[in-house]
Amino acid sequence: MDAPAAPAMAFKAYKYKEVLVRDYLLADSYAPYTSVLGGILMCKLAYDFTRIISSFKFKGYASLNNMQKIEWNNRGMSTVHAIFITVMSVYLVFFSGMFSDQLDGPVTVRSSSISTFTLGVSIGYFITDIAMIYWLYPALGGMEYVVHHMLSLMSTMYAMLSGEAHVYIYMGLITETTTPGINLRWFLDVAGMKNSKAYLVNGVAMVVTWLVARIILFMYLFYHMFVHYDQIERMNTFGYFLVLIAPCIIFMMNVLWFSKILKGLKKTMAKRHTE
């Protein structure tokens, strides 16, 4: 009889925090749109911070060409967003209790001021990054990055404006946990440390985190969708098809990229073995 108490108490505590944030930090009805601007500002600050710190702390930064410096700073920006959205997504999905099956009502329509605000910040990042990718295309990424970012932006924006499918958006955003490792690998490569032990360790860590966050977690997402399909059917038509289609496309891209990561790690280990 006491089993459902923990999720219920966690949700009550979460709702209490939500009321404080809503009444004192997000009282303005334009807060979701303000959060998008906040996300863009966060990107600008992270970009500039990366540039300034790298100029002082990394001797090789000055020798990089202009395009390499832009990508270096861009990756610093994406790392900051990845850390932020991973922490918030893990908290909201697994610790807040907001999406617990112990609660009444469809999980597909549960949202809060905190979750809406967080989505807005992430939208600000996707807008900034897509703008940079388009402006410098294809230096910062090819068409696969454009497709991935556009799907992410469309899905996140729909969830923020409609209040639907927050649980699935955040499950998908947890995959950003792989971004710092990917960026670190690029930093090590540009810094001339491709043959270092750190590069090899980073490659192994990338395989593990990618497998967990972008393959296994997506399988759990699909299982969750299967169990709650009757609730998904009741969503807005556009949201219904978005929830069914977007994760499938992103998952296929994840599998393709994972195969490339495995090949890269295998090549690195084979090279070290011959040496």
pLDDT per position as a tens digit, 75-104: 999 999 999 999 999 999 999 999 999 999
Q: What token pair was written down for 89?
A: 């997504």
Distance, CA of 129 to CA of 55 (rounded, Å): 22
pLDDT at residue 20, rounded to an integer = 44
What percent of the chain has pLDDT above 90? 76
pLDDT digits (tens, 9 = 90+) for 156-177: 999 999 999 999 999 999 999 9
Q: Would you call the peptide bond into 32 cis, given omega within 30 degrees of 0 as the criterion?
A: no
Alpha helices, DSSP H, located in the chain: 5-24, 31-57, 66-90, 113-135, 143-162, 166-173, 179-190, 197-210, 217-227, 229-232, 237-274
Distance, CA of 179 to CA of 181 (rounded, Å): 5
Residue 8 has pLDDT above 80, yes or no: no
Residue 24 has pLDDT above 60, yes or no: no
Distance, CA of 159 to CA of 189 (rounded, Å): 37
pLDDT at residue 27, rounded to an integer = 45
Spatial CA neighbour of 168 closest among 242, 234, 117, 105: 242
**Is the CB of residue 6 less than 8 Å from the CB of residue 14?**
no
Residue 15 has pLDDT above 60, yes or no: no
Residue 12 has pLDDT above 50, yes or no: yes
pLDDT at residue 180, rounded to an integer = 97
Angle between helices 113-135 and 166-173 in degrees, nearest 10:
50
Distance, CA of 128 to CA of 123 (rounded, Å): 9
Distance, CA of 202 to CA of 180 (rounded, Å): 10
pLDDT at residue 19, rounded to an integer = 52
Residue 274 has pLDDT above 80, yes or no: no
Between residues 118 and 265, the one the model is more confident about:
118
- Indicate the pLDDT class of residue 21, thresholds 50, 70 and 90: very low
Q: Looking at residues 209-221, what average pLDDT do you find?
A: 97
- Amino acid at site 267: K
Q: What token pair was written down for 226?
A: 């299967």
- Indicate the pLDDT class of residue 30, thresholds 50, 70 and 90: confident
Distance, CA of 159 to CA of 239 (rounded, Å): 8
- Indicate the pLDDT class of residue 29, thresholds 50, 70 and 90: low
Q: Is 99 exposed, middle or buried (0-12, 13-18, 19+ CB in 10 A)?
A: buried
- Indicate the pLDDT class of residue 33, thresholds 50, 70 and 90: confident
- Give the least confident one: 64-68, 111-115, 125-129, 271-275: 271-275
- Indicate the pLDDT class of residue 61, thresholds 50, 70 and 90: very high
pLDDT at residue 164, rounded to an integer = 95
Averaged pLDDT of the chain = 89
pLDDT at residue 214, rounded to an integer = 96
Distance, CA of 138 to CA of 71 (rounded, Å): 12
pLDDT at residue 161, rounded to an integer = 92
Residue 13 has pLDDT above 60, yes or no: no
pLDDT at residue 269, rounded to an integer = 81
- Give the least confident one: 17-31, 80-94, 108-122, 134-148: 17-31
